[in-house]
Every structure is written in C-alpha cells, then in structure tokens.
Amino acid sequence: MLDILTGFVSELRQAGLPVSVAEEADAAEALGHLRLEDRQAIKFALGATLVKSANHWRAFDTAFEIYFSMRGPQFSVGEGDVSAGPELGPVPAGLEGRGPSSTGALEPVTAEEIAAMLFKALHEGDQMLLGAVARLAVARFSGMEAGRPVGGTYYLYRTLRNLDLDGVLSRLVAEARALAGGAAMSEDTDDQSQAGPVLRGRRPGQLTALEERLLEDEYRARIDELKKEIEAEIRRRLVADRGAEALARSVRKPLPEDVEFMHATRDELEAMRKAIAPLTRKLATRLARKRRHLRRGALDFRSTMRHSLSYGGVPVEPRFKHPRQVKPEIWVIADISGSVAAFARFTLHLVYAIASQFSKVRSFVFIDGIDEVTGIFDRSDSVSEAVHRVNLEADVVWVDGHSDYGHALTVFYERWGHEIGPKATILLLGDARNNYHASQSWVVRELSNRARRVYWLNPEPRSYWGSGDSILEQYAQFCDAAYECRSLRQLEAFVEHLV
Amino acid sequence: MTAGPDTSVPRFDSVDHVREGLATAGYIADDGLSGVVYLADRLAKPILVEGPAGTGKTELAKSTAAFLGSRLIRLQCYEGLDEAKALYEWNYKKQLLRIQVEREAEDAGGARPLGWDALEEDLFSEEFLLTRPLLEAIRASDPVVLLVDEIDRLEIETEALLLEVLSDYQVSIPELGTIRATQIPLVFLTSNNTRDLSEALKRRCLFLHLDYPSLERERAIVLAKVPGVTNELADQVARIVRSLRSLDLKKHPSISETIDWARTLVLLGIESVDSETARSTLNVLLKYQSDIEVAAKELAVAPGY
C-alpha cells in the first residue's frame, strides 16, 4: 500500500501539485484509520491530506482514478504487487458486476439495441443501466487497440459521436412533452408513473416553459453522468492495457493556471474560465493591499516642523506625505484571430476585472481591421458577457479575415493615435504572425514615443518567436519589453507587475 | 508527527457516526465531508474549510459542536487582528491596581514590602491573564470546538500567530512558559478564498472544499431546514436552483438562499412553483438586478433546439 501511495504522490508532484513530505505522512496515517476496501473513503482521505486547493482537484481526480483502478485480468494474473491485489481487489462499492467481462466476452450488441437501452436508462435515471450502457458503448464504438500510447480522448470522442447524445436529449424532451399533452387529453392517470422526473404527480396539461427547462436540465445531468461513466470505462480499459504509470503520463492534466492558451482544449478552456474569477479576485485584493501598504511618500517638511514644536523644536518624529497614487491608463490592443483568440479573451477578462486599479481602460480588437470595443465593456453587465459580445459585434475584418498587424496598427494610429498621452500604458497582444504582410513597425515606434510604456504579450513560447511568419522582433525592438505569456499564471504575474 | 497530547478519547466511532450525528443537528453531510471531520478527530488536525459564500462552512462547525454537546469557541478574523485579540493579553489595569495596593500597604507601614521579584511573579501570574479565544480553547478542560472564521481576512504575517496553536496545540507566553492543551480541540478554519493561504498553514490542516451540493443533498437540506415544506416543493426548489447555478450569473444562489426561498414559498402558501411565482420571488435567491433579469428570461423561455 505504501508503495502505491508513494507512486501516487510522485505522480501528483509530476502533475504540478505541491505535496510535501509531511502531507504524505499524514495521508499514510489517515489511511490507517479507514477501511481499505472503501474506495470512496480512501479518495476523500487522500484528497483532504494531499490536495490543498480546489483548483488542483481535477488533477488529483484524474491521477486517483488511474492509480486506484488497478483491477481486471492483468492484475489478478500479474506476478507483482502482492499488497495491491488483496487490498484493492474488491474495490468500488456500486461498481460490482462490471468486472471480468471487460475484454471480449461481450456478446455482440447492435447499435440499435444500445441506443434503446441508452434511451431507457436516461429516461428512468437508472444508475446500473447507465453503467451498463457506458460499458457496452465503449466496447462497441470506441475501437480501442491494445498497446497504443494514447490518452483516450479519441476513444471518448468516437464513442460519444456514435451515441448522438444531442439527438437523444431532444427526443427525451419531445417524448415528455407529448406525454404531458396526451395525459391532458385522455385524463389517463396511469401514465403519470411513466412521466419521468420533475413531472411526477403534476396535473396533466401542456408542459410549461419552466417545467420543460427543468426536465431538460435533469436529462442533461444524467447525460453528463453517462459521459463520466464512459470516460471512466475507457480509463479502466487503458489502465488494464498499459498500466497506471504509462497512462498517467499520457493523460496528465495540467493545473488550470498552467494550461497553455494556444493548446487548450474546450474542457480546459472551461476550467480556465472558472479559475479566472477567483484568480482575479485574489489579484485585486493583493493589489489593493499592496497599495495600502506602499512605502511612505516624501518627507513632509511642514508637518515635521509643526510636530517638532512639542519636543522643543527637535524634529524627533519625521512626518511623510501620503504617496500619490499613480494609476496607469491602460490601452489593450488585441489580436482576436484564430488561435490567439483565447489568450486575448483571458487577458481582456483579467484587465477588466481589476479595472479599478487603473484610471482608464480602453480596448481595441483586430484581425486585419481594427475596432474599439471599450463601449461594449461599459454597456455589459459582466465581463464574460462583454467578451462574448466582442466576438459578435466588433468589426474587425477588413479584407480576408487573416491577421494583418501592419494594416491594423496603421489604422489604429490614424484614428486614435493622437489620444495617446504620457500616462498611457499600451499592451499589444498577439503572436505577431503577420501572414507575410508589411509590418509597419514604425507605428509601434511612434506609440512608444508618445506612451509611458509599451509591452508586447505573446502567447507563444519564446523559442518560436521569429520563426515562420512571426515578425515579433520588428515590433519588439520598439517596445519596452516583450513577454511570453502562455498560461494564466504568467498572465497574472505580468498584470501584477503592471500595477 | 506533532508531539501534542494524545487523543485518548476519540469523538467519533466511524464515518457514519459523524454523518448521522450531524444529521441530528440538522446538517446534511455527504460522505466526503463527514469523512474529513472523522479524520480530523483521529489525526488531531484542524480542518480548513473553503468554498463559496453560503455553503455552510460556519454552520458545519456550529452543528458539530451542537451534536457533540461541546462548547463552541469562535474567533472572527479581520484585518488588523493581533495577538492581544486572538491569543492573550495582560490585564494592565488590574496590574496597576495591584501595584497601587502594594504601595499603599507600604506607605501605611504595615506590611513588609514584597520585593521586586516576588511582585513581578505575582503580576505576571494567571490571575492577571486575559484569555482570548485561542488560549481559551487550549486551556479548556472540556472538549471544545474551536472555529476560526474567515481566516483569509488575516494578513499573511498574522497567520503565523495561529501556527503554534494549530500544530502543537500549545501557546507560549514568555512570562509564564508554555501552556499545553489538556484536550485537543476540534478546530475548523473557514476561508472564502479571497487570497491564497500560506503553505505553512495549509500543510498543517486537512483540506475540505465545500461546493454547491448535489440535487439530492440540497433537497434533503431543504426538507430538514424548512418546516412545512412538502417533498414535491423541495424537489422543485432544488431543481430550479440547480438550473440557476448552471447559468452564467454574477453570484450563484447559495444554500442559505435556497433555504430562504423555500421558506418564502411555504409562507406564501405556494405548493408548486410555476414560472410566474418563480419570477416574482427570484429576488430572494438572486441579489443582483442583472442576474434576476437573466434568470427570469431563462426560466420563462424554453431553450431552443
């Protein structure tokens, strides 16, 4: 058991979680107080002792599922770990009955049968059946091949594509609607028991919008459960195929603040979106605090003299002026084309979330045309809504919708250049991949002459700068600095430095 | 491991014991939560409870105390909290009085002067010590529950004050020596996560993240906390709140707001929520006008597909 724990902890450390030796010892001690066959109990014990931040839970979860799912044929025959066998053997309660059939013993099931079972399982919210469907679906659709060093995302995609969950969802709702309407006509009370969740015990009649919404949310929740089941099933098979350590390496999930903007998947973007709210709140508190505890201002001569009177004219107690708050004026100019869009979005989000730290924030977005979007932010209630509207409303395409930094910057300079004064700090966001257009880097030179500071933030790794059609060097030479900004962590560090 | 006094009498027999006990105190816990509380007692470690506002962090400590029949000692944190407010303070006025009495006795010529050493020892004895929550929890002879509320409001430097208490269950007072706990208090620290706590503090604690509850748990909470609510209404309330939480709002409804809403509905004599009642009572659940507008729109209109 201790071996497994050590392996598990080192995997957590690999994934970037800071786990100290003392915490590892705590975890080991905690395990001593629990029944080892209770998998859920072990999970929360390890979670409570090893994971000290809610953001890290996902990484922990993935690692746990892999390290503590060592079952299946390979393991019982395998020569190795005597300790692992008996202790983790009878593992998860509620999961029994899905054991040995995992490899090939399944009778061939047709796609239609699976679809029918799926519909039934979702309709009735039957946990056992859901599990069974997940198992069958993976066996039938995922097309797994032994020994391929992949993380399973592709298998998941294939399975889900074949199940057509969106279609099932709309069918479920349509049926419920028909059922409710039908019940109204026939006054047949027997149908009530079939009515599914939410509607049980309700008077017959047309579905109201609210009920329909609730019903749909209920089915959505069940579908999410199914997706989790499928993912777990795929993972179980992969573990059985390749062993925990190999798999852990390929599915290791970086922490949300370390995910790279350029390569984030949709799920990861979602996780980042969730992580950014607490992140900005923390950042704002930290900045406010920093400002309050700022070093004292210059010597206040008058006040010092006045106070010295009570000591007979000896300036015992020097007095200082309050430091003058310098709040920078921020101009954000962001490339929102293709792959850098996510980066621009998060940066805008962060800047606006701490807008109180700046005297003024103006924002511009471009692809090959450029448009000011400050107004969208002012009119919107929440930052995320504004970011969403920027994508819809901003007029950023000039010719072909491929990045043209040169044109965008020229237009910017012509239209807004004269408004930039010595208080302005300009942030240019983008990868400077200019599709071989003219760079027009003189604009950046002019900007940096007028503004207090000009920074370039690039979501690409530094080693890629200047490769291919990236012409960052031509711009960077006129900037005060160019930073690599690949993850939320780096972005946060930059913004803190900015204030 | 820390060399604290040993936990001779565990408070809980099993994880189930914790969960059932909490249920008697009106707190619906899930397995993870009761497991962490159980472990905290067994390992003699504080629990750091983190999560959005209104998910029952403080309530957990209160309910645990209620179910154990222990005294709850509470330390509310705020910026500027210091040693004198958290640990102990010398009763300066009483000490002055003591000196005065000594001098008067001397002037009257009656008693022999006490001498400096004796006087000092007398002045810095427990008689002149004002205990503050942390010290009080350590010195209590009965098994108490200590709640350190909103610890993220402390400055990072002040956090260090807590470390000795939390890891070794002792307080060092220079004039008196070290005061060790005779029993290990069950400690809850709550945090709203407005800043990262120091590694040193986190390392000493078990971590518990309280999130919004599952549908089943929320329904059970509503049933337990709202008198007179029917099963159907509780179910409906829980479902609507879950749908609201899936929306993109400034502030999602918390458990306490769910309970308030359920109470409102019961008071108004509503047995089943339709869009109209939902919309007219939304202001109990949501605290921003823009959120209310978004929610009203979402609940009234069936999503298109």
ipTM: 0.79
- Higher local confidence (pLDDT), A435 or B46: B46
* Chain A residues close to B275, C-beta within 8 Å: 208-210
- Show me where the domains of chain B are located: 15-82+132-209, 88-127, 215-297
Asked if A174 is an interface residue toward chain B (Cβ–Cβ < 8 A), one would say no
User: What single DSSP character describes residue A451?
Assistant: S
Task: Give the closest-approach CA distance of A201 to chain B in angstroms.
Answer: 8
Q: Are B98 and B123 in contact (CB under 8 A)?
A: yes
Mutation choice for B interface testing from A19, A198, A202, A213 by most B CBs within 10 A: A213
pLDDT(B76) > 80: yes
Residues 350 through 389 of chain A touching chain B, CB cutoff 8 Å: 381-382, 384-385
Residues 151 through 180 of chain B touching chain A, CB cutoff 8 Å: 155
pLDDT band, residue B188 (cuts 50/70/90): very high
Q: What would the two tokens of residue B68 be?
A: 């154990």
Strands B88-90, B129-131: pairing is antiparallel
Residues 264 through 303 of chain A touching chain B, CB cutoff 8 Å: 278, 281-282, 285-286, 289
Size of interface A-B (CB pairs under 8 A): 117
The C-alpha angle with vertex A405 and arms to A332 and A376, in degrees rounded to 5, equals: 35
- Which is the CATH superfamily of the domain at B15-82+132-209? P-loop containing nucleotide triphosphate hydrolases (3.40.50.300)
User: What single DSSP character describes residue A479?
Assistant: S
Cβ–Cβ of A48/B278 closer than 8 Å? no
Beta strands in A127-209 (DSSP E): none
Asked if B304 is an interface residue toward chain A (Cβ–Cβ < 8 A), one would say no
| Closest-CA residue to A179 (of A165, A166, A192) | A192
CA distance A413 to A426: 13
* Chain A residues close to B300, C-beta within 8 Å: 209-210
- Please list, residue by residue across B187-199, b when 16 or more beta carbons sit within 10 angstroms of its beta carbon and e when fewer do: bbbbbbbebebee
Q: Greatest CA separation found in chain A?
A: 101
Asked if B193 is an interface residue toward chain A (Cβ–Cβ < 8 A), one would say yes
Asked if A54 is an interface residue toward chain B (Cβ–Cβ < 8 A), one would say yes
Q: What pLDDT, in 10s, does the model give residues B56-65?
A: 888 899 999 9
- Higher local confidence (pLDDT), A261 or B75: B75
Cβ–Cβ of A214/B303 closer than 8 Å? no
Q: Are A187 and A204 in contact (CB under 8 A)?
A: yes
Facing residue for A285 by CB, picked from B45, B194, B300: B194
pLDDT of B190 reads 93
Q: Could you state, in chain order, the average pLDDT of each consecutive group of 10 residues for chain A (499 residues)?
A: 82 83 88 80 87 82 76 37 35 38 49 75 74 75 67 72 77 75 45 47 58 78 81 76 69 70 73 74 72 70 86 82 73 80 77 74 84 78 70 72 84 87 84 81 87 85 81 85 83 77
Q: Output the DSSP codes for A239-261.
A: HHHH-HHHHHHHHPPPPGGGS-T
Facing residue for A57 by CB, picked from B209, B235, B242: B209
| Closest-CA residue to A339 (of A432, A476, A465, A275) | A432
Cα A427 to Cα A204, A334, A357, A415, A447, distances in angstroms: 60, 8, 16, 17, 11
B179, β-bridge pairs: B171
pLDDT of A294 reads 61
pLDDT(B47) > 90: yes
- Please list, residue by residue across A281-311, b when 16 or more beta carbons sit within 10 angstroms of its beta carbon and e when fewer do: bbbbebbeeeeeeeeeeeebeeeeeeebeee
pLDDT(B147) > 90: yes
Cβ–Cβ of A48/B39 closer than 8 Å? yes
Q: What pLDDT, in 10s, does the model give residues B227-264?
A: 888 888 888 888 888 888 888 777 888 898 899 999 99
pLDDT of A166 reads 77
Give the H or E element holding residue A429. Answer: strand A424-429
Asked if A225 is an interface residue toward chain B (Cβ–Cβ < 8 A), one would say no
Task: Give the closest-approach CA distance of B303 to chain A in angstroms.
Answer: 7
A72 by DSSP, 3-state: which? coil
pLDDT of B72 reads 92
The CATH number given to A273-293+326-498 is 3.40.50.410
pLDDT band, residue B146 (cuts 50/70/90): very high
Instruction: For chain B, give the percent of residues with pLDDT over 70.
Output: 93
The position carrying tokens 């309910």 is: B63
pLDDT of A239 reads 73
| Closest-CA residue to A348 (of A407, A406, A389) | A389
Dihedral angle over CA of A459, A463, A467, A470, nearest 10 = 30
Cα A70 to Cα A85, A105, A144, A397, distances in angstroms: 9, 20, 19, 53
| Percent of chain A that is helix, strand, coil (3-state, to 5) | 60, 5, 35
Beta strands in A267-352 (DSSP E): 329-335
Q: What pLDDT, in 10s, does the model give residues A399-430?
A: 677 788 888 888 888 888 888 888 888 888 88
Strands B145-149, B186-191: pairing is parallel
* CB-neighbour burial class of residue A244 (10 A; exposed 0-12, middle 13-18, buried 19+): buried
Q: Are A76 and A257 in contact (CB under 8 A)?
A: no
Q: What would the two tokens of residue A318 be?
A: 């020097």
pLDDT of A148 reads 66
Cβ–Cβ of B243/A214 closer than 8 Å? yes
- Higher local confidence (pLDDT), B168 or A348: B168
Q: Are A404 and A469 in contact (CB under 8 A)?
A: no
Strands A360-366, A370-372: pairing is antiparallel
Asked if A198 is an interface residue toward chain B (Cβ–Cβ < 8 A), one would say yes
* Chain A residues close to B236, C-beta within 8 Å: 198, 214
* Chain B residues close to A35, C-beta within 8 Å: none
- Measured from the Cβ of residue B269, the count of other Cβ atoms closer than 10 Å reads 7
Mean pLDDT of chain B: 84
Q: What pLDDT, in 10s, does the model give residues B79-125?
A: 888 888 888 888 888 888 888 888 887 787 766 666 777 878 888 88
Q: Are B168 and B2 in contact (CB under 8 A)?
A: yes
Residues belonging to chain B = 305
* Chain B residues close to A25, C-beta within 8 Å: 1
